[in-house]
């Protein structure tokens, strides 16, 4: 059973939710961007994952398991009484690919935040969304004091398809973060129409 939404009942209308992922390396500005547009202060949820070794399904493997806590920061934008948009900052490290798998399912699209001081920290996210066909845009977060690159230089370094939008942004600014999301939504619409 997927849902219990058939009974409208006397309760308040239950909105449907959509999500957009905000990916990027540690410190690239994921939570900052989410916070800039979210109507609530970003919340943090934790997923405790126990990682077992391959091929071991009996109890003897217990001592070799390690527990990893993956924190996810997210924000919320109420679109209408029947529609809520969630923005999830996704852990950037490649070793958290299993979280991306779950998170990207049903996602409208993704924003990959590029930090030009450590551009390689967004490679894994670009690879992931590219291969899964998840619509995405690259937002270059322009940090104070960091060398400013042109969007095209970043596009070239990331070997992006020409149709993937690359925008420069200041993740702290609502207007700037908003433009990034609008760019993504236009990209999503294009991809749906295609």
Partner 1 sequence: MQAHDEFDPGESPHGLPQRAAVGGFDADTPEGEEAGPLVRPYVIAQGRDHADAVQLDMISVVIAAKRAEVDEMALEPEQLRILELCRRPLSVAEVSAHLDIPVAVVKVLLSDLLNRGLALARAPYTAKSPVSRDVLQAVLDGIQRL
Residues 165 to 194 in contact with partner 1, rule: CB under 8 A: 174, 178, 181-182, 185-186, 188-189, 192
Mark the segment that binds partner 1 (CB under 8 A) among 13-21, 26-34, 165-173.
13-21
**Cβ 28 to partner 1 shortest distance, Å:** 14
Q: Is 23 in the site for partner 1 (CB under 8 A)?
A: no
Interstrand relation of 43-51 and 16-24 (parallel, antiparallel or unpaired): unpaired
CB-based contact 127:99 (threshold 8 Å): no
Q: How far is the CB of 68 from partner 1 (least distance, A)?
A: 8
Closer residue to partner 1 in complex, CB, 118/172: 118
Q: Nearer to partner 1 by C-beta: 76 or 172?
A: 76
**Residue of 4, 58, 63, 162 that binds partner 1 (CB under 8 A):** 4
In whole angstroms, the minimum distance from the beta carbon of 131 to partner 1 comes to 6
As a residue count, the chain comes to 194
Smallest distance from partner 1 to CB 135, Å: 11
Decide if residue 151 touches partner 1 (CB under 8 A).
no
Q: Which of residues 82-121 bind partner 1 (CB under 8 A)?
A: 83-86, 88, 94-95, 97-98, 101-103, 105-106, 108, 116, 118-121
Check residue 137 for interaction with partner 1 (CB under 8 A). no
Nearer to partner 1, 123 or 143 (CB): 123
CA dihedral of residues 65, 45, 75, 170 (deg, nearest 10): -50
CA 141 to the chain's CA centroid: 15
Q: Which of 59, 60, 67, 194 binds partner 1 (CB under 8 A)?
A: 67
47 binds partner 1 (CB under 8 A): yes
């Amino acid at each position: 059973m997927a849902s219990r939404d058939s009974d409208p009942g006397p309760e308040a209308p239950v909105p449907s939710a959509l999500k957009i992922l905000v990916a990027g390396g540690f410190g690239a500005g994921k939570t900052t961007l989410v916070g800039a547009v979210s109507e609530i202060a970003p919340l943090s949820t934790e997923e405790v994952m126990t990682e077992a070794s391959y091929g071991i399904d009996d109890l003897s493997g217990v001592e070799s398991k390690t527990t990893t806590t993956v924190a996810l920061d997210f924000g919320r934008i109420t679109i209408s009484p029947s529609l809520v948009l969630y923005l999830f900052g996704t852990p950037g490290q490649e070793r958290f690919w299993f979280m991306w798998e779950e998170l990207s399912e049903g996602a409208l699209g993704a924003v990959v935040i590029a930090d030009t001081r450590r551009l390689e920290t967004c490679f894994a996210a670009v690879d992931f969304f590219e291969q899964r066909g998840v619509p995405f845009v690259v937002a270059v977060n322009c940090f104070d004091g960091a060398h400013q690159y042109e969007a095209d230089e970043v596009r070239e370094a990331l070997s992006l398809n020409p149709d993937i939008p690359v925008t420069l942004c200041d993740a702290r600014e609502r207007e700037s973060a908003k433009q990034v999301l609008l760019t993504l939504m236009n990209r999503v619409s294009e991809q749906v129409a295609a």
